Structure 1
């Protein structure tokens, strides 16, 4: 991958920190994904400053998630279950707040697409003892 011009590198680093903040929110808020933000943050840091990328990858939980994604190892089965349950709960609990039937149907379809993506497209990592 070619490195961006040096004048853009601070912007990539700043974007990496913003994406990390979203990732932290994702670890705290139910129904809000965290891992995807850390994956994007690592990509931004890699374009801005590899030292920040190395810092992110050295974090105990986050670094493992990003490394597993990059290596194509997928998600542990337990994490897939938790993600799908969170999607179903988030859609179910918020459905009544959407006043238009078409909006409710669209929201259910978005949730269904998320569950299908996680179950069918994201590889399941099976840890062997």
Structure 2
């Protein structure tokens, strides 16, 4: 039952990560990291598929091995957060309280991403 719960959670995280690729303000990487972790608890085959995936496998492996994020990915993440906040600001026209809460959350997320080490080995 526990494996099934982790497998379902992994599937949901994977779907959210895929949706995050095209949706501003919805992150991608954290959901893929969580999906790989859930699959590691439930399905070694799905975990291996994610870790060996040609597109996001190398980033997941670097995160697992070093907690590292490549410089290009950092720039893309911060740029995506900035564009997402700008779209949020223009479309929602939030009050100062909501704008501040979302801004602080995104700023904290950006600081965290930028503060992660860069990988020692690219590949």
TM range (shorter): 0.7 to 0.9
Distance across 2 between alignment mates of 1:32 and 1:100: 21
Aligned in 2, Cα 1:9/1:73: closer, same or farther, shift over 3 Å?
closer
Report what 2:105 is aligned to: 110
Choose which of 51, 62, 85 in structure 1 pairs with 2:56: 62
Q: Deviations along 1:10-60, whole A, 9 cap, x unmatched?
A: 221121111111111122334422111111111111111212211221211
Q: CA deviation at 1:126?
A: 6.1
Preserved contact between residue 66 and residue 119 of structure 2 (Cα < 8 Å): no
Report what 1:86 is aligned to: 80
Q: In structure 2, the residue corresponding to 1:27 is in which secondary structure?
A: helix
The CA RMSD over aligned residues, in Å, is 1.9
Choose which of 37, 40, 44 in structure 1 pairs with 2:38: 44
Gaps of 5+ in 1: 1-6
Report what 2:28 is aligned to: 34
Aligned in 2, Cα 1:29/1:102: closer, same or farther, shift over 3 Å?
closer
Gaps of 5+ in 2: none
Preserved contact between residue 36 and residue 50 of structure 2 (Cα < 8 Å): yes
Preserved contact between residue 13 and residue 45 of structure 1 (Cα < 8 Å): yes
Aligned in 2, Cα 1:126/1:8: closer, same or farther, shift over 3 Å?
closer
